[in-house]
Chains A and B, each alone.
Chain A
């Protein structure tokens, strides 16, 4: 049996996962940095990760019931993400790999979200909507590469909702979506869809302006979530139509949103497609997804010499050849 250890540290989560070649997740430990107020400060998050690393690793080995020497490779998220956070995870991974004399694998964080989604939902050949705090894109595997069909032209959908929640004083997601449940009026916000691309920064500014005008927070939340999710659903439908595919996979932190799922479900039902959603425990950033994708990469020998294992804060998913795909 092949066992891979995965280390995730792109943003607020330090995660350690253990995956086997049978597709079993033996451990998935998360240590989440929660700032007292405001958004994530990269350096503070990195210090949190460094402080929690040993504890998380110990818990992961204990939960998985394995010894460090049982693992066959060490995978880490190489990018995209916040530089200081990425470097902390990479340092931990390099250290373990070097000490144990095992190969190192640099995993693309976005691809890991997708591959864990495919593993746990069992959906075949989908169009993927990957929405999270730091990323928003629509992609599909075409000729062994995740091609970006559409993406945000500025900030991520999750970032837009989180920032608004923090400004409004209710906190990041899921607070804005919960508050939206009390709203009853939809105000006009910019709806920016360009082909299969979306833009959210104008919406955020407009929503914050509504707050300054004294509009009730629940109504602004409702307007914001409805607009953002409608845009995401629309571009996803366009991608399904363009590639003529009938399955959709929703991954990333925003996969936990019930309203977004509902919209996608309605859209898919109307066009005879099916939507698969990653379960909550694998929706946010986690180590299991890095371990599992590392395992896939190990199968086709995509290991990384330590001297070439620098992190890539702006790494794109289409940089990586999906050598494990058939």
Chain B
């Protein structure tokens, strides 16, 4: 039982609408616990079912990406009874508050492109969900809105959200950031697919309805 695994809670990293993210330790290892907290407004049956299925979904996506060499936190334990995922703690700075985000843009393009070629989308690809480590190490986190079997539109939404997020985090550098990002992206998926997706991004932008958190 997970209760007997002696987790030590250290601090709360983030509180979202759906989950609380905590840093914890276990046998000297630093881990992250993502807890989908119960919602009082929902009837217990529905609440438990929803939290459990989402926890399972996110864990599956993370596993799938890890297995395929993508830089996402490694899942260590899943506590389905309480809807908690225990995963690797990643050392890094959110790209939105990084000193030199441009250094990471091209590599980010490659990572997102290879994820997209697996038909997986992140679903909430903002700079707050991208961690930059030492050198050019990058990690994608928070796959709560991610999806398997993604279509062109969902992939384009990833890019659109990233662009909007870059424009609000560092307005003067966002053009160059996206230019480098797309260079990395098209190196992986090719020019044709990249321009196809950019057409879709344009269409989404013209609908003007995806808003990004700061």
Contacts and interface: CB of A to CB of B under 8 A. Distances in A.
Interface of A: 142, 147-149, 186, 188, 191, 194-195, 226-227, 230, 233-234, 237-238, 240-243, 262-264, 266-267, 270, 318
Contacts of B39: 230, 233-234, 267, 270
Interface in B22-57: 39-43, 45-47, 49-50
B123 A264 contact: no
27 contacts: A142-B211, A148-B209, A149-B209, A186-B43, A186-B45, A186-B46, A188-B49, A191-B46, A194-B145, A195-B123, A195-B145, A226-B43, A226-B46, A227-B46, A230-B39, A230-B47, A230-B50, A233-B39, A233-B42, A234-B17, A234-B18, A234-B39, A234-B42, A242-B211, A243-B211, A262-B41, A263-B41
Given A147-B208, A194-B145, A237 B17 contact: yes
Contacts of A264: 41
Contacts of B49: 188, 191
Interface in B170-212: 208-209, 211
Contact of B18 (A142, A188, A191, A238): A238
Contact of B208 (A240, A270, A318): A318
What DSSP secondary structure best describes chain A's contact surface?
Answer: helix
A108 to B, nearest CB: 15
A226 B46 CA distance: 8
Contacts of B213: 242-243
The 7 A-B pairs with the shortest beta carbon distances in the complex, nearest first, are A241-B17, A266-B41, A263-B41, A230-B42, A238-B17, A148-B209, A267-B41
Nearest to A235: B17
Nearest to A233: B41
Nearest to A137: B209
A267 B123 CA distance: 24
Contacts of B123: 195
B46 A230 contact: yes
A230 B41 contact: yes
A149 B213 CA distance: 11
A146 to B, nearest CB: 10
Nearest to B47: A230
Chain B interface size, as a band, is 20 to 34
Given A230-B39, A230-B41, A234-B17, 18 more contacts: A142-B211, A149-B211, A186-B46, A226-B42, A226-B43, A226-B46, A230-B42, A230-B46, A230-B50, A234-B18, A234-B42, A237-B17, A241-B16, A241-B17, A242-B211, A267-B40, A267-B41, A318-B209
Contacts of B45: 186
B110 interface: no
Contacts of B42: 226, 230, 233-234, 263
Contacts of A234: 17-18, 39, 42
Contact of A147 (B16, B41, B50, B211): B211
Nearest to B123: A195
A234 B42 CA distance: 9
A226 B45 CA distance: 10
Contacts of B43: 186, 226, 230
B99 to A, nearest CB: 26
A240 B42 CA distance: 17
B129 to A, nearest CB: 13
Contacts of A243: 211, 213
A195 B123 CA distance: 8
B17 to A, nearest CB: 4
A234 B38 CA distance: 12
B124 interface: yes
Nearest to B154: A194
Nearest to A149: B211
Contacts of A230: 39, 41-43, 46-47, 50
A195 B124 contact: yes
Contacts of B50: 191, 230
A243 B17 CA distance: 11
Interface string B122-144: 01100000000000000000000
A194 B145 CA distance: 7
